[in-house]
Amino acid sequence: MKTLLSLFCLVTYLTCALSANGWPVSLDMACNKALSTVACSFEFTNNGNEDLYLLKRNTPLEGLYSEFVSVSLNGRPLEYEGIYIHRLPPTKDEFVLLKAGESTSATVQITDIFSIDTDGLYTVQYSRPLQYLSVSEMSAMSIDQLRELFAQEFVQIHLEDTSLLLKPKKEEIKVDYTVHLEACGSARFVGNNQNYATLHAHQHLCSSLLKAETKVGYGIPISAKWFGAYSYHRTAVAKNVYQKIRYGITTKTVTYYNNGPQCRPNSYAYTYKGSTTVYLCPVYYRDQILCSTTGESKEGTLVHEWSHAFGYTDDIVYGRPNSLNLARYHPDNAVRNAESYCYHYCDARFF
């Protein structure tokens, strides 16, 4: 896997250009302050001699639906305050055709997903791989053949009067009703779409999370399967995530928001780190209620989302095959991956 060339740039208005040098896709970045926001533009260029399909997912081309940049102040990272979405594999409508020699671009306001409230020197770093397919691969919909290039571009910008910048907004919630559960806190609901099924799945979490936690560690096959070869550190990380999920749903009043306003057609659900709300999306309602060791389920999706909200996991890969490979080849990432908890938890229910 190849790494794109990084360039350093530092001026009042910053542009960081990527040298083509044979790479099929290049990235140009620029960031500037405009009144109450900080806007960053991203231009993707096909430098090759054949047309490509660039995946918009996890890039600014789809908007602010993923953590495709990191922001730091004097080397101290800022907390990403955007959403974490549990999704289906990408479909053709999530790609943009990038003809040979052509470019496509997007501009987003990073002040919508990062709280910038201290004057100083900020670094905005592109942090997601660029994924693409050839025209023939797209015709065959060979999603498992997605190619990757790691864009390590960054810009630096000195910001003043940051107290005037807008801060990320959280979605307003008007609760319809609350269900109090013995030994499992309370569950609130916004809207009504299979609420009985969500409550049933939630109740299984209350009784099964501790069992899943005990199935992490040395000599336990499903632990190695989803979190990689045993190590004391990884075991501690995974157990801590489970403990935080269990503590969160048993001591807090959690909310299930039906048909969340930022849902995408191919999304199961989304949430925010530190949130007590999971926003349910169209795909979620199609799944069976309780766990399976082969398919998807509402119960598994709730584990995925609460691991984000309470356990502060990330979305590194989706799906069983990718999660299995992550555990095998990158176990330190597996214990940070929300999907890994979804599958490990469901396996633990039957182990």
In order of start, what are the domains of the chain with their CATH numbers? 25-164 (2.60.40.2970), 188-349 (3.40.390.10)
DSSP 8-state class, residue 139: H
Check residue 170 and give its pLDDT: 81
Q: What is the pTM of this model?
A: 0.91
What residue ranges of the chain have pLDDT lower than 70? Answer: 1-22, 144
What confidence tens digit (pLDDT) does each residue in 223-258 have? Answer: 999 999 999 999 999 999 999 999 999 999 999 999
Kindly report the average pLDDT of the chain as a whole number: 91
Task: State the amino acid at position 346 in one-letter form.
Answer: C
Which residues are CB-neighbours of 313 under 8 A, at least 6 positions away? Answer: 241, 307, 336, 337, 338, 341
Reduce the DSSP state of residue 329 to 3 states and report it.
Answer: helix
Residue 280: name the closest of 149, 192, 167 by CA.
192
Count of C-beta atoms within a 10 Å radius of residue 32? 16
Report whether 80 contacts 273 (CB < 8 A).
Answer: yes
Instruction: Quote the CA–CA distance of 331 and 143 in Å, as a whole number.
Output: 23
Check residue 188 and give its pLDDT: 97
Count of C-beta atoms within a 10 Å radius of residue 332? 13
Check residue 15 and give its pLDDT: 34
- The token pair at 27 is 């990235």
Report whether 203 contacts 182 (CB < 8 A).
Answer: no
